[in-house]
Amino acid sequence: KFISKKNLLNGILPASIGNLTTTLWNLNLSFNEIEGTIPLALPNLTKLLSLDLSFNKIKASIPPNMGSMEKLQELTLSGNALERSIPNSLYQLVHMGNLYLDNNALSGPISTSINNLTNLQKLYLNSNSFSSALPPALCELKDLIWLYLEDNSFTVLLPLDVGNLVAVDKMDISVNQLSGELPVSLSELQSLEYLNLSKNSVNGNIHGNIDVMVNIKIIDLSYNNLCGGIPKSLENLQQPQVLDLSFNRLERAIASGGNFTNLSIDSFVGNYALCGAPKFHVPVCSDGVKKHNIVNMIK
């Protein structure tokens, strides 16, 4: 084990770092002033279980031979200036449990080979320049607990089988270019506590079956293009702390019962065709709107 954290180490990592004792299992050089690139010799440390080079000034690409570190369980490269795509060999690290590549300048798509990382529990790719659609292979990671993909350029919404992520409890894909409708299988994420899809171009209706997500505490769907009515079934969400539907194209009545009694105008502002209770600062619903909502309730 070798830790030299917050010691203001500077300069570059020498190629000789790959000659360190082969019994080294933890290398932590985070929060220093290390510059240059990650040496190609670093993956020679094949016994490493954990590597942390986060919050330095390391640039260029992740070495293409990272797959040599076959025992690696945690890789933390956050907060550098890494660029280009994730090397294919990294997807061969089948023991990887936590992968932190956030706050860099990485780009390209997420490979379909990500389903090789069957032990992955925490995936942080946020604040990069990743693009393209999210691969369906991502939804095969059934041990995944935290998924942070916000602040990228991903397109197309979640794969239809996102409901396979049975263990996930935090999912943030906000501030991307996601389009398309919310998949029905989203409601199958029974462990989910935090969902943030804000600041995208998600369209279509909000499905009425979201209320079966028994553990959900925070839902942020603000700044999208969602339309239609707000399902009355959302009143039945058991423990919501935040429900943000602001700045969409939602219409008709805002429900007034259940957990909606604790919500304020902030949850609905920017939807100019809504009506409901005065506390929401929207017009009172006409009889026609009320009848429409009653019909929907019966359906």
Q: Which of 133, 158, 160 is nearest to 147 (CA)?
A: 158
Question: Any idea which fold 2-298 has?
Answer: 3.80.10
pLDDT score for 10: 82
pLDDT score for 294: 43
DSSP 13-45: --GGGGGS-TT--EEE--SSEEES---TTGGG-
**Domain spans of the chain?**
2-298
**Residue 298: pLDDT band by 50, 70, 90 thresholds?**
very low
How far apart CA 47 and CA 189 sit, in angstroms, is: 36
pLDDT score for 291: 43
Does residue 7 register a pLDDT over 80? no
Answer whether 79's CB lies under 8 Å from 61's CB: no
β-bridge mates for residue 172, sequence order: 148, 196
How far apart CA 32 and CA 50 sit, in angstroms, is: 17
Neighbours of 81 (CB within 10 A): 13
pLDDT in tens, 72-108: 999 999 999 999 999 999 999 999 999 999 999 999 9
Amino acid in position 50: S
* Terminal CA-CA length for the chain: 62
Does residue 283 register a pLDDT over 60? yes
Neighbours of 96 (CB within 10 A): 23
Radius of gyration of the chain (CA): 23
The pTM is what?
0.92
pLDDT in tens, 249-275: 999 999 988 889 889 999 999 999 999
More confident residue, 287 or 116: 116
